[in-house]
Amino acid sequence: MLFLQRIFMIKIKLNIAVKNKYRIFAKRNFNISNRKVISMRWGLVLQYNGKNYHGWQRQNDDTPTVQGTLCKCFSDILQEHILVLGCGRTDTGVHAKNYVAYFDSNNLTEDKKAWLLWKINSYLPHDIRVNHIIRVPDDFNARFDALSRTYRYYITTAKQPFRSDFSWHVPQKLDIKKMNTAARVMYQYDDFTSLSKGNMQTLTNNCRVLYAHWEKKDEFLIFTIRANRFLRNMVRATVGTLVEVGKGNMTVDEFSEVIKAKSRGKAGASAQAQGLFLEEIEYDKKIFPRKLFDW
């Protein structure tokens, strides 16, 4: 009987030791109230050359995309499943100078942030670079928290063999004054169905254009457009249609009628993808100070 009592007491002590060890582990790694892993949300500012990618969004197969590449590299380094979510889609061949994304991690801490920035850039291919990793609020959403987005489109008026991956060569003479007059027409409207990709699953095609302007710089014509949101293919469709105005194939009044028609078939062809850059995403300065963006 005494032997059995000793065995029983040893079992009790072992159970207590195991439970105490689990409690210590749980406090470090879990929220005991709901048994959920404590993770932190991290924001990214990155840039990429879109030439070798089929856009931002990850696809079901092995098609190379920017999002798919980032998810794999971060997952390999942090040794956990990482889903990188972005501020929006970019199409095949489109570039980004200041793209904002975010991810949740159980393993990343503030003291490892500088190490991760170095490590991720050594893992990523040469055409993607992460510029900043910052701690963001747990409810931060790169897409829905954005206040505005700015794109730039580059047209070359002379053939540029070494810049052909980053601009659209238009050999015809363009009337930039008429193109700017037409661009200002966009301030008067909010429904840009005519300048978007058809069959989009969006609740609304309304956007508020805040700035739209062409400027000539050396042998480039640069179109800058800023809005609270953009429809899919909207910038390229806008550029392609404004080029028709510049060539004299469409008047400013006809450009206005195109927007009113709310029909993609009325607008011009989309400009080539390689001339388009996502330049900036604007957020509350408390979350993303503008100094983080590369100018």
pLDDT at 164: 92
More reliable by pLDDT, 61 or 114: 114
pLDDT of 247-258, one tens digit each? 999 999 999 999
Residues 6+ away with beta carbon under 8 Å from 64: 52, 53, 54
Give which of 113, 112, 98 is closest to 292, Cα–Cα. 98
Task: Tell whether the model's pLDDT for residue 6 goes beyond 90.
Answer: no
The residues annotated as belonging to the active site are 91
Residues 6+ away with beta carbon under 8 Å from 100: 43, 44, 45, 46, 86, 87, 142, 146, 281, 283, 288
pLDDT of 178-233, one tens digit each? 999 999 999 999 999 999 987 666 778 999 999 999 999 988 999 999 999 999 99
The whole-chain average pLDDT of the chain stands at 87
Mean pLDDT in residue range 151-172? 94
Q: Are 169 and 156 in contact (CB under 8 A)?
A: yes
Mean pLDDT in residue range 145-172? 94
More reliable by pLDDT, 240 or 18: 240
Mean pLDDT in residue range 21-35? 38
Cα–Cα distance between 74 and 13 in angstroms, integer? 42
Task: Tell whether the model's pLDDT for residue 22 goes beyond 50.
Answer: no
Q: Which residues pair with 280 in a beta bridge?
A: 150
Query: Exposed e or buried b for every residue in 131-162, given b needs 16+ CB within 10 A?
Result: bbbeebeeebebeebbebbbbbbbbbbeeeee
pLDDT at 149: 96
CATH number for the domain running over 148-281: 3.30.70.660
With a pLDDT cut of 70, the percent of the chain lying above it is 85
Task: Tell whether the model's pLDDT for residue 87 goes beyond 70.
Answer: yes
Q: Are 153 and 222 in contact (CB under 8 A)?
A: yes
Give the number of other Cβ atoms within 10 Å of residue 263's Cβ. Answer: 11
pLDDT at 137: 94
Taking only Cα atoms into account, the Rg of the chain, rounded to an integer number of angstroms, comes to 26
Mean pLDDT in residue range 125-134? 96
pLDDT at 143: 95
Cα–Cα distance between 272 and 261 in angstroms, integer? 24
- Which range has the worst mean pLDDT, 55-59, 249-253, 291-295? 291-295
CATH number for the domain running over 38-144: 3.30.70.580
Tokens at residue 56, please? Answer: 């931002």
The two beta strands, 95-105 and 276-282, are parallel
Mean pLDDT in residue range 3-20? 44
Task: Tell whether the model's pLDDT for residue 10 goes beyond 90.
Answer: no
Cα–Cα distance between 6 and 205 in angstroms, integer? 76
pLDDT at 201: 63
With a pLDDT cut of 90, the percent of the chain lying above it is 76
Quick check: helix, strand or coil at residue 204? coil
Identify residue 15 by its one-letter amino acid code.
Answer: N
The two beta strands, 148-156 and 36-37, are unpaired
